[in-house]
Amino acid sequence: MKQYNVAVVGATGAVGNEMIKVLEERKFPVKKLTLLASSRSLGKTLSFHGEDIDVEELKEDSFKDIDIALFSPGGSISLKFAPIAAASGCVVIDNTSAFRMDPDVPLVVPEVNEHAIAQHTKKGIIANPNCSTIQMVVALKPLYDVAKIKRVVVSTYQAVSGTGQKAIKELEQQVLAIYAMKPIEKKVYPYQIAFNVLPHIDSFLENGYTKEEMKMVNETKKIMEDDSIQVTATTVRVPVFFGHSESVNIEFASEMTPDMARKLLKKAPGVKLVDNPSKNIYPLALEAAGKDDTFVGRIRVDDTVKYGLNMWVVADNIRKGAALNAVQIAEALVKKYL
């Protein structure tokens, strides 16, 4: 099997760390792994297949002889360095929002629209969607293919790991401070996140929605390749370390019963059906953490519309919502498109 020189940009972050882990677990054909981050990470090493690899400073000349670059830094870093990397001849798979809505950049969830990877030749960049969008479209696609979707109303309950390592630490420290009856510190979020729920992810826009909510609206249409789907979202941060949960309400153009949905989802790629409420069996963030699948349950009729369903969708936001999806894109890329 041919091997590839792979770079991970933002290697010391939560998603970058997970990318390295997923590359190793899935035995991606890596010839040489280059780990890139800001100058603050110089001196650090990370393990890959038992070897300690030095973290290098990200520079404009970092991509010589790199075949595939997995990006997970800040969006402004991707805006600057992804085109530089692509111009050097490697294919960039970018986990930030920098290029997602660029019409010349494919936005890919392999279980949904793998064929879009072929468009990577336009700019040499493939965009990884928003974590909350990824798990939702994985669950929607099998249903959409049988009964076209007219409208989606989604409310998310998103883990702090979606904000990064500092947010994980902040939740941990706040919980400890509360139990020790000490003052809590708020640095990452505007309010206390421990034992609280914040209806606020990313910045607010003029239309009253947040950027995170509009990402779900716009990205869903692009990935599903159907601008007629009406999507509205409310995204909420909850005091959970790993795992995004979503309440998804769907209106279909034709019949889709709960039994039909269960049969379709049971055999759908990347989906695990967990749906027996009579025995208190349904998807949980705790059980999804560290897993690759998107878990779907609580499937039931919405009888306020002619063809409607509700369902509960849960996935690990760092794995399927970021690192795993990026590596799956890379796997399809080298198998069919590179």
b/e 320-332 (16+ beta carbons within 10 angstroms → b) = bbbbbbbbbbbbb
* 66/30 Cα distance (integer angstroms): 11
CB 12 within 8 A of CB 73: no
CA–CA dist 94, 65 (Å, integer): 18
CA distances, 185 to each of 175, 240, 315 (Å): 11, 18, 29
Residue 310, Cβ density class (10 Å: 0-12 exposed, 13-18 middle, ≥19 buried): middle
Q: Is 90 labeled as catalytic in the residue annotation?
A: no
- The reported pLDDT for the residue numbered 103 is 97
Return d(Cα 41, Cα 187) in angstroms, integer.
21
**pTM for the model:** 0.96
- In this predicted model, what pLDDT tens digit does every residue of 50-87 receive, in sequence order? 999 999 999 999 999 999 999 998 768 999 999 999 99
Residues sharing a CB contact under 8 Å with residue 176, sequence separation 6 or more, in sequence order: none
* pLDDT for res 299: 98
- ∠120-130-225 over CA atoms, to 5°? 55
Q: pLDDT at position 125, please?
A: 98
Sort strands 294-301 and 308-315 into parallel, antiparallel or unpaired. Answer: antiparallel
Answer yes or no: 49 catalytic: no
Tokens encoding 55: 């973290």
Given 49, 115, 120, 131, the catalytic residue:
131
pLDDT for position 112 = 98
User: What does the pLDDT look like over 97-128, one tens digit per residue?
Assistant: 999 999 999 999 999 999 999 999 999 999 99
Fold of the domain built from segment(s) 132-317: Dihydrodipicolinate Reductase; domain 2 (3.30.360)
235 pLDDT tier (thresholds 50, 70, 90): very high
319 pLDDT more than 80: yes
Domain residue spans of the chain: 4-129+322-337, 132-317
Domain 4-129+322-337 has CATH 3.40.50.720: yes
Whether 1 has a pLDDT exceeding 90, the answer reads no
pLDDT at 74: 74
Q: What value does the mean pLDDT of the chain take?
A: 97
Q: Is the pLDDT of residue 192 over 80?
A: yes
Among 49, 115, 120, 244, the one annotated catalytic: 244
The answer to whether the 4-129+322-337 and 132-317 domains have the same CATH topology is no
